[in-house]
Structure 1
């Protein structure tokens, strides 16, 4: 039996794939330890895993203004790296070093920049997990990268400009990562050859690309140790979480509804998303489920619309005629697996790129966040629901994703790495 430390920061979309892996690794006889935000302690310990608090705390989950800064389309990624990840780098390192004592392997998400330092200092292997194609910034695979000049977001020029995106990203983020280079020097670790956010972030042992091939296929400029696994699904259902009786009664009382959700992060900064969605739903004479998180439920909802704080996506999405969401990769994956047409309203980070990829699949349409108004929503949703090609294509893609087993492939690769180590 090996002791494995799983570490991640961010939203539930970042945490849930790690939980899926952890459950399978424990089933295979390994001891799995989590190091993550203190806000997730109850969730982790309820599943029976050892928990270690790892800073920074995810205070944005309860602070709409902070979440708005993190989710800003142009500056959100820089804010997260400078003011959250790198500002807490030493605390993250200390907390993770404590959790990783006697560990045989560290598995980390992209944002845990201290994980590599801890692994190198302790002399143990580490595995990097990436959840979305944008993480590779491949010159062979068109990406939409927020924060770069607008010319790089134009679909007609994107492929031509793609080879320059990685180099431009390195230049733009060079000053963001100075704390990483400084801490490496203080720890006596070798200097990095490149940028730890762009081209020198990959593990020499194993990189798990934990998304489906329907979003992106392996490219020649991916790192040598990269392995495409497919999505790793978890949303609470494995812990026994079910749809509420109230929601079940609503679903059984009429036609399949449109489900509106903003995931677990963007929902903290919804703006007029739910108000415009209600207007569009009524104009389309449709039923709807609003997943609103901790937001105050809208007043005077008609019987055709219900607002819930949360519902497991794997249970609610298959009952929907369409899903409207923010484009986080976890939400995107669940909607694709359910075979639902989607309307995506990307906020920041990987979401515009995810939206672009799903639209190219022929299962989705996209509305920029600033243009999300009832009139536009009515038009786009109307086409999604009335044109049968979207539902047909979504059904085919869903069948492909349901045939994949990302958790098994990822855990097989992890165990192979443990065997080599």
Structure 2
């Protein structure tokens, strides 16, 4: 098959598509990736053809928006970026469609793919790498920036979610999106969250034991396992300097606030103090050097990127933002994890981990050295959490989400 992958987002959003593309290519398919320029190297290493959705400067500008990582206001710059790339993506697909791709695999935020599907009948499979975007009245996701959610019934959270769509998301995204549709002679989209799933098939890359399926999910949704894709990032192995650090002492605490974070300076300052107070070594994972303190103790190391699947088994614990890719890597390694959620799906995944006793959660306002040290110690010593992590690790060993996704992609492709 001739397959086009279209993905937009940070490493946790895009690398699963690279992993799917890599395996599909190994199965004999012709695969190309359309994604932001910073993912060119990953695509080439995975053996994929690559075209840039946006330049590296445009990508960095979007990630540097002052409000992007605010729990509520972050939705506006996020959806503005998505809609701004919709026309560009549709035109790219139209050019590719002259050779008629057999199948297009796309993230839900690649709006231009759904435009091209509605306009030209192209076959599309939507891939959700996070359960946060799958609606349900019976198991509504936790929303960012909404207090007292633990006291709310699911239907009330769902009602608030619909309100966020009407007040924040749809007013930003629908007018420019519907202007494109009008120019194509297509009817307007009334609600973005209903429209962004392809009616052909939607894959949710979160296993049922982590996200129980719900009776009111869209009928075309199918669950597969987590996509493990970290070794297709900036590096496939641990750097020699990192290997030497790991060999030189006890397992360190690992701190990361995600590949897209440009406002993590306070998080890493607290991380250094946590290591000092606990008498533990630490590794700060941050792509941007200006996010970490300029001067670090000898037992704390800054690393720009490292595959978590190789690093975490040699660590004591992981403290992070709550990105789904990072969550999955910690589960696969069987290590303790603490989530300090920032925005978007982070609060939802933090709640899921807490409910399953797989991790601890601290609000950003509570992430201070004394409180964090106390919670990390409790997490490390909890028999219930140790048992839950061991069970999750066993489940992860038996699961291959990328292979299952490729199986379903091939099955759908064979029916077209």
Does the TM-score normalized on the shorter chain lie above 0.5?
yes
Q: 1:213: how far off?
A: 2.3
Kindly indicate whether the alpha-carbon contact (under 8 Å) linking 2:45 and 2:232 is maintained by their aligned counterparts in 1: no
Aligned partner of 1:408 among 398, 403, 410: 403
Gapped runs of 5+ residues in structure 2?
Answer: none
Kindly indicate whether the alpha-carbon contact (under 8 Å) linking 1:67 and 1:269 is maintained by their aligned counterparts in 2: no
Query: 2:115 maps to which residue?
Result: 117
Instruction: Give every structure 1 segment of 4 or more consecutive aligned residues whose post-TM-superposition deviation is greater than 6 Å.
Output: none
Q: Which stretch of structure 1 is more off in the superposition, 294-303 or 313-322?
A: 294-303
Query: 1:289 maps to which residue?
Result: 283
Aligned partner of 1:274 among 268, 276, 287: 268
Query: 1:81 maps to which residue?
Result: 79
Gapped runs of 5+ residues in structure 1?
Answer: none
What is the CA–CA distance in structure 2 between the aligned matches of 1:306 and 1:12, rounded to whole Å?
A: 22
Q: 1:384: how far off?
A: 1.1
What SS is found at the alignment partner of 2:373?
helix
What SS is found at the alignment partner of 2:230?
coil
Give the number of aligned pairs: 412
Name the TM-score, length of structure 1 as normaliser. Answer: 0.92
What SS is found at the alignment partner of 2:301?
strand
The root-mean-square deviation of aligned C-alpha atoms, in Å, is 2.1
What is the CA–CA distance in structure 1 between the aligned matches of 2:390 and 2:61, rounded to whole Å?
A: 38
Aligned partner of 2:374 among 372, 376, 379: 379
1:210-229 equivalence runs, <5 A:
210-229=205-224
What is the CA–CA distance in structure 1 between the aligned matches of 2:276 and 2:106, rounded to whole Å?
A: 44
Kindly indicate whether the alpha-carbon contact (under 8 Å) linking 1:36 and 1:52 is maintained by their aligned counterparts in 2: yes
Residue by residue over 1:334-353, the C-alpha shift from the partner in whole angstroms, topping out at 9 and shown as x without a partner, is 11111111111111111111
Query: 1:262 maps to which residue?
Result: 257
Query: 2:171 maps to which residue?
Result: 175
Kindly indicate whether the alpha-carbon contact (under 8 Å) linking 2:235 and 2:305 is maintained by their aligned counterparts in 1: no
1:407–1:66: structure 2 CA closer, same or farther, 3 Å change rule? same
What is the CA–CA distance in structure 2 between the aligned matches of 1:339 and 1:100, rounded to whole Å?
A: 44
Q: 1:58: how far off?
A: 5.4
1:15-414 equivalence runs, <5 A:
15-55=14-54, 57=55, 59=57, 62-63=60-61, 66-82=64-80, 84-102=81-99, 103-146=101-144, 150=146, 153-172=148-167, 173-176=169-172, 177-192=174-189, 194-196=190-192, 198-236=193-231, 241-266=236-261, 268-296=262-290, 298-414=293-409
Kindly indicate whether the alpha-carbon contact (under 8 Å) linking 1:209 and 1:226 is maintained by their aligned counterparts in 2: yes
